[in-house]
Amino acid sequence: MDEWDIARLDRSHQREEFGCGKNPLDEFIRSLLSQYEKRKLGRTYVAVLPGERRVVGYYTLTTSSVPFQNVPPGLSKKLPKHPIPVVLLGRLAVDQTVQGRGLGEVLLMDALARCLELSEEMGIFAVEVLAFDIEAKRFYQKYGFVPLVDNALHLFLPMKTIEGLVF
């Protein structure tokens, strides 16, 4: 099993060669990410091999909310009928050079642990994700993410479930 260093993106990280095979995710980290960081629209965490600076995986977190009517009926019973506060896992991608080595799971667990820590300081009911495609949807569902009612690729994972996954 590989070891990865995961840290908040900084200027020393090399991201120009990143390629996960999905153009919008590649384009984001190569060209758009700096503007998102500068404008505080999201925070990106990157994975590198120890002692290296080349990014081989990343994820982005930002704040969001899910309309009450999009929450599945079984989960909405005791919730107020207004937008539900969540953290949006905006993107998660792994470079093709290291795919199949478990980095996607490592990045997801790191993101969920950060979200759980944040939930101790502020109101967060769940982590939300809009899966890139059906393959990504299956990946998230392995960890308990459930579809929201508005879109089959729109998923979320309640903090109660995350508590069991991360700790």
- For residue 55 the two structure tokens come to 């990014």
Do the Cβ atoms of 116 and 76 come closer than 8 Å?
no
Q: Structural domains in the chain? A: 5-166 (3.40.630.30)
Q: What pLDDT was estimated at residue 99? A: 95
Over residues 127-148, the pLDDT tens digits come to: 999 999 999 999 999 999 999 9
Over residues 30-89, the pLDDT tens digits come to: 998 888 888 999 999 999 999 999 999 999 999 999 999 999 888 888 888 989 999 999
34: Cβ contacts below 8 Å, ≥ 6 apart: none
Cα 135–18–39 angle (5° rounding)?
A: 95
* Average pLDDT of the residues of the chain: 93
Q: Which residues are catalytic?
A: 140
pTM strictly above 0.85? yes
Over residues 75-85, the pLDDT tens digits come to: 888 888 989 99
